[in-house]
Chain A
Amino acid sequence: MNDGGLSAAHSARETPVPSMRQRAMRLFLSDFFVLYLSLAYFLVLMPFLPTLSNPANIANILSNMWPLLVVAVGQTFVLTIAGIDLSQGSVVGFTSVVGAMLLATTASPDVLSNAPIWGTIITENGGPLAGVPGGVAIAILVMVAAGALIGAANGIAIAHFQMPPFMVTLVTMIVISALAIYLTQSENIRNLPESYIQLGKGDIVSVYFGEQDESRIPRRQIHSFVTYPMLIAVTVAICAHVLLNRTVFGRQVFAIGINRKAAKISGVPVKRVIVLVFTISAICATVGAILYSTRLEAGRPTLGDGNFLLDVIGATVIGGTSLFGGKGKIIWTVFGVFFFVLLSNTLNLMNLSSFHIDMVKGTVIVAAALLDVLRTRLIQGDAL
């Protein structure tokens, strides 16, 4: 008894009550830091932007989150092995075309007759899987296979030929998006079957808020909260989380990211893991392609162009995944995507121009990268 009392007193002295500063540190280093930051940002802006918290806007934020999340999850794997995948955008564009050319129910010769796929794959009667039972599933399998092939090619070039990921995926990006544009001659493929479009737009739970009379024409105000994209994205994120944190493969991914040489000497199948990681990244991009192209109701070769990569890599890095490898969590990416989408949304609501929005986004990404450096330094200082 006496001993117990003594040691308790002793340990109380050894670990003093955390000060304000230590608490702030703990918050700053927490996995949920970006989520807290997002919520704080939301609360601060709420009085200024009343639209922010209205149901329609929240439904928008959610709906913008899902496709980006799916793609960013793939990027998280790649960043964790200290790689980078610049080809994700082009995979989104390419596979959206692949899916659309297989599934289109009809197509117009005015638009597509110059395209190399006209007559061979797609005709006035649509694609080969138009009206075929289970066609949507087959088309998705083909899309995933195409995406996986591109990802595996990236991985093989990087792992087996020791080429830098930046170079390899940059070339893939150029080649694949050129291929997508060539296949359709830069045209979009419309007339997708309803069951496919449901994947990008379908509601499961919608909420009716009654008539609202803010605008001069009363609206129906039905807002989708639980949607197919949500189910798909959440499923992808959970699977990815399990894969990265609960499997042998996940451990090997981290090992390679932290120290590739040591991993190799310890018997980690480095090449196999790298190929798999880039394949996962491309498959995630393909799932993203399904969500993006169905919500725009067309296969678009130019989907994923432009600033798309900024959004993907930016959201992932804001979450806290390190560009230097060895540090990444799916939950971080979820919060990063949430913050990024919230940021875009609020900048829109402030009526900023797209140039200003991109400038702010860029600044936020740099700030996130700096924050990462700071956090790493703090953690290492802790370990000194």
Chain B
Amino acid sequence: MKPVSTLLAGAAFAAASLGVAAPASAATICFAFQDLETEFWVAGHTAITRTLEEAGHTVIERNANEDANRQLEQVRDCIAQGVDGVIIIPQDGESAVTIVNEAQDNDVPIAVFNRPPSDLSKGIVVVADNASIASQAVDFLAQEAIANREGDGKLTPMIIVGDLGDPNAVGRKDGFYAALENYPDDFNTPIEVASEWDAATALANLEAAVTANPEIDLLFTSSDFLFPTIRSVFEPRGMWARQGEEGHVVMGGLDGDATACQLLKEGYIDATGVQDLYFEAEAALNAILAAIEAGEAQPNEVIEDPGFALTSANLAEREMDMWGCVLLSEGFLDQ
């Protein structure tokens, strides 16, 4: 969050936009995001604003507080203010399409960051490939599990799936299965636990699943935010242990939040797939600045983010590429 702006700040900004000399390549970018309630969005937001400001651009921030309608009004206000380009993190895929159209109708280039519009054909769209990220993480988990195998029976994998109405959740589940298909002789049919992206639902279903199948060798959660939930189920059963300790279950997730980073460092989990937020931010930015430079009012482009898996093996080199670890190093969890 920017510190409290005041009327004076508004006036100062107004003066600046009235043509007080600015760097030749400097642009005014409206950054409209949907909320800052989860740490992921805090990090995404920081990544964008910091990059923009460091490059000498002016950023106008708009927080829609999870209200699509408000986001539309905010983007319109931005356009009226005369910004050069718009970057949004939309509330959902549908409103993203409307807002992209609104901006393009007004000849303002727009990029959609992180959450894809339901129509990818318009605007600059940066999307994470959930399936690819998940499969990178699960591949590492599978190798770990196989390496730790005692005896030679098949291993039992488990996946906590998200709300399957959400394309992200579907992609992550697909990636999980795709990775395990490479080791057909080593794994039983995975056990699926539904979470509906809800901690309480996940808790109830996981309790039931673990009671029914106490011997689990690999657990993949479709989102890192469920790790605390998993811990509360596993700990009483002696299944919450560090790597190399008795009872450790090979475990991984996706998102790469600060909690996951900490757990990875402590050795409780083995890997997490992560969107390369910094790559995405930079890609969105570069594309929008290029469009502005080229005078292109309706740039259309899909940019894919392959993501990567942060694992116990590559933690040392890639730690700072994961947004959760950056937040962690800034003391996010101490707040």
Question: Which residue numbers of A lie inside 8 Å of B, CB to CB?
Answer: 48-51, 54, 56-57, 59-60, 63-64, 108, 110-111, 114, 185-188, 190, 212, 214-220, 292, 295-298, 300, 302-303, 305-308, 344-345, 348-356, 358
Query: Of residues 58 to 91 in B, which have CB atoms within 8 Å of A's CB atoms?
Result: 60-70, 72-74, 76-77, 79-84
Q: Are A358 and B94 in contact (CB under 8 A)?
A: no
Residue from the list A56, A300, A352 in contact with B68, Cβ < 8 A: A300
B297 within 8 A of A: yes
Q: Are A114 and B164 in contact (CB under 8 A)?
A: yes
Q: Are A300 and B107 in contact (CB under 8 A)?
A: no
Residue from the list A51, A215, A219, A345 in contact with B14, Cβ < 8 A: A51
27 A-B pairs with C-beta separation under 8 A: A50-B17, A50-B18, A51-B80, A59-B80, A111-B165, A114-B164, A114-B165, A185-B165, A188-B93, A188-B94, A190-B118, A214-B17, A217-B109, A217-B296, A297-B94, A297-B98, A302-B68, A305-B66, A307-B67, A344-B73, A348-B74, A348-B77, A349-B77, A351-B5, A351-B61, A352-B4, A356-B5
Q: Are B94 and A190 in contact (CB under 8 A)?
A: yes
B189 within 8 A of A: no
Residue from the list B7, B66, B69 in contact with A296, Cβ < 8 A: B69
Shortest B317–chain A CB gap in Å is 36
Shortest A41–chain B CB gap in Å is 12
A-B contact count (CB 8 A): 141
Residue from the list B69, B108, B297 in contact with A303, Cβ < 8 A: B69
Q: Are B107 and A217 in contact (CB under 8 A)?
A: yes
Q: Are B76 and A354 in contact (CB under 8 A)?
A: no
Query: Of residues 36 to 68 in B, which have CB atoms within 8 Å of A's CB atoms?
Result: 60-68
B10 within 8 A of A: yes
Shortest B31–chain A CB gap in Å is 11
Q: Are B62 and A48 in contact (CB under 8 A)?
A: no
C-alpha gap A300/B67 in the complex (Å): 11
B1 within 8 A of A: yes
C-alpha gap A64/B73 in the complex (Å): 7
Given A51-B81, A215-B82, A356-B4 contact (CB < 8 Å): yes
Q: Are A355 and B94 in contact (CB under 8 A)?
A: no
C-alpha gap A212/B82 in the complex (Å): 10
Residue from the list B9, B80, B84, B93 in contact with A217, Cβ < 8 A: B84
Q: Are A219 and B108 in contact (CB under 8 A)?
A: yes
Given A187-B165, A217-B109, A355-B65, 14 more pairs with CB closer than 8 A = A50-B18, A51-B80, A56-B80, A60-B80, A114-B164, A190-B94, A190-B118, A216-B27, A217-B84, A217-B295, A219-B107, A308-B69, A350-B7, A352-B5
Q: Are B63 and A355 in contact (CB under 8 A)?
A: yes
B144 within 8 A of A: no
C-alpha gap A345/B63 in the complex (Å): 13
Interface size class of chain B, counting residues whose CB lies under 8 Å from the partner chain = 35 or more
Q: Are B73 and A60 in contact (CB under 8 A)?
A: yes
Give A197's nearest chain B residue, CB to CB.
B98
Q: Are A296 and B292 in contact (CB under 8 A)?
A: no
Q: Are A296 and B72 in contact (CB under 8 A)?
A: yes
Interfacial chain A residues near B2, Cβ < 8 Å: 351, 353
Q: Are B11 and A351 in contact (CB under 8 A)?
A: no
Shortest A45–chain B CB gap in Å is 8
C-alpha gap A297/B68 in the complex (Å): 11
B13 within 8 A of A: yes
B106 within 8 A of A: yes
Which among A54, A108, A218, A306 has the highest number of chain B CB atoms within 10 Å? A306
Interfacial chain A residues near B73, Cβ < 8 Å: 60, 64, 344, 348
B192 within 8 A of A: no
B95 within 8 A of A: yes
C-alpha gap A199/B162 in the complex (Å): 37
Q: Are A49 and B10 in contact (CB under 8 A)?
A: yes
Residue from the list B14, B63, B77, B97 in contact with A50, Cβ < 8 A: B14
Residue from the list A63, A296, A345, A354 in contact with B95, Cβ < 8 A: A296
C-alpha gap A23/B13 in the complex (Å): 38
B243 within 8 A of A: no
Residue from the list B10, B64, B118 in contact with A349, Cβ < 8 A: B10
C-alpha gap A27/B63 in the complex (Å): 37
C-alpha gap A186/B165 in the complex (Å): 9
C-alpha gap A49/B73 in the complex (Å): 18
Shortest A200–chain B CB gap in Å is 10
Shortest A67–chain B CB gap in Å is 8
Interfacial chain A residues near B14, Cβ < 8 Å: 48-51
C-alpha gap A59/B84 in the complex (Å): 19
B92 within 8 A of A: yes
B167 within 8 A of A: yes
Shortest A346–chain B CB gap in Å is 8
C-alpha gap A308/B65 in the complex (Å): 11
